[in-house]
Structure 1
Amino acid sequence: MSIPKPTRSRLSNDDVRAVSPALANYTRDTIVADLWKRPGLSLRDRSAVTLAALIARAQTIGMQHYFNLALDNALKPAEVAEIITHLAFYSGWSNAFFAVEIVKVIFAERGIGAEHLPQEPVQLLPLDEAAEDKRATAVQANFGGVSQGVVDYTRDVLFRDLWLRPDLAPRDRSLITVSALVASGHVAQITYHLNRAMDNGLTQTEASEVLAHLAFYTGWPCVFSAMPVFRDVFTSRTK
């Protein structure tokens, strides 16, 4: 039996135009014809940023289209699986499960099976012991008296396991983490993770373009709330 052609979206441009011609025009002329063609981020990165925003905000109506587009834009199935896994920790398990429900169908339509996905157990990447000890010591000192459970899980599960999984590069993990934080309005966490992202290879040009991209997918208020934090990180790194 032949594999059916993957479906792309529940809403066509004509559907949007029937309700709001202006919204249809902005979608066509600004998002499709301009935003996605800007040079500051690759198509692959724009897809990763968009997926992070959709998962963080549990916006399932866009997932069918954008997960398909992400695979077309060279994100590997294993990377898509890791994006969902990673964001379960940064956006919540239920948000990740919303994505699982949709991507399960997409993988089936595309003939993507277990052989294309990370095989458990994985061989973790090397740990920077000195940097992790410094981070863990600071978190323990600040928050051990508040919730030792959170401190322990942060050390053992997030930074000594999740962040070391090999099927999504550290730079890409940082990219989707920062994107999810902006999308969720969690500005207090951005300073650490944006610095980590840039240490992991994300350039200032790329980070700036993440904000431009997210303005359309999370709304201007989320981005303007994050911009002072980005500015301060950029300034501190140029001193």
Structure 2
Amino acid sequence: MPNVTETITGPDGAQALILLATAGATAASWDSVVSPLAEQFRVVALAPKGGTLDELGAQVIAALDELSIDRAYIAGAGIGGLTAVWLAIHEPRRVSRIALVGSALGVSSGSAVDTWITPALAGRDAALVAGLQAQMDTVGEIAEVDSSALAEDLGRVAALTLVVAGAEDPLAPADAVRAFASLIPDARIVVVPGAAHLVAVEQPAILSRLLLEHFGSAATLEVGYASRRVALGDAHVDRTIAGITEFTEPFQNFLTRYCWGEVWTRPELSRRDRSLATIASLVTLGAEHEIGIHVRAGLRHGLEVQELQEVLQHLALYAGLPRAFGALQYVQRILIEDGLLPASPA
């Protein structure tokens, strides 16, 4: 595996999201936003070594190949954002959507922590300053990257693009970021207050919401099937696909795009909470034929056996004793089959 790969986390089989660090930083510069992103995506944080944009792009492609990732969402900070643009231009089949954070033509790599975060934050968090300085010291001196060649090709970016600027960024000022974004077709620009160059460090809640909104709203079959596999497992989805007929295909495509690609990937609820809500709904409806797959999905998403026991008791009050009791027997059978409960003496 190329030495640019530093962090991999998130559900196996989920849509890949690549995070590219800015020049001089390590993948740790993304740490504050990784957890909420990993709720929905297989997150791979990379810190390509210095070089031209061609060389940086080649390093990312090599990492994707090593990880068997055919196509990915890509978010990059600073030079990492310019690398994402290069990939969208030169390797469009490998890129779905891109997000650029603190990126502009002619952006400097910066050589001091006070260009990465606002003076206000630096003044109140000495430990953070020390950590960022350690990243700079680890990476060492980074040569400036010539981004001028990108200018003439920005109109070729077909990937849907989010551009984020820190309102107090001295390396990529907001006006320069706006000018950069204006050259990319249909790019959305957001300026984040109270942030300098490393928006992920300074305003992680805002940035994570922006990224989840941008990357999580692509209700394609590809995204839907990836989400469906995370919840239900490869074996179940493979059986479903094998059973699709000409008659059922339109419905299955709709279900996969809308249910799994759009709703299940929304960031406002975790997958665990969506599983709990789904199980409760199915019990209330008496749809026992669907309970089994969602119990197993809930367990994959972090539900505990005791929580399933508790929610069924709670549902006895609101959905009725007969339905809750029937579901209790059904759920117990699933848990016994999966070795999570001992076999019933009966």
**Shorter chain as normaliser: what TM range?**
0.3 to 0.5
TM-score, normalised by the number of residues in structure 2: 0.32
TM-score, normalised by the number of residues in structure 1: 0.45
Higher relative contact order (CA 8 A, sep 6+): 1
Higher helix fraction (1 or 2)? 1
**Which structure: larger Rg?**
2
Higher strand fraction (1 or 2)? 2
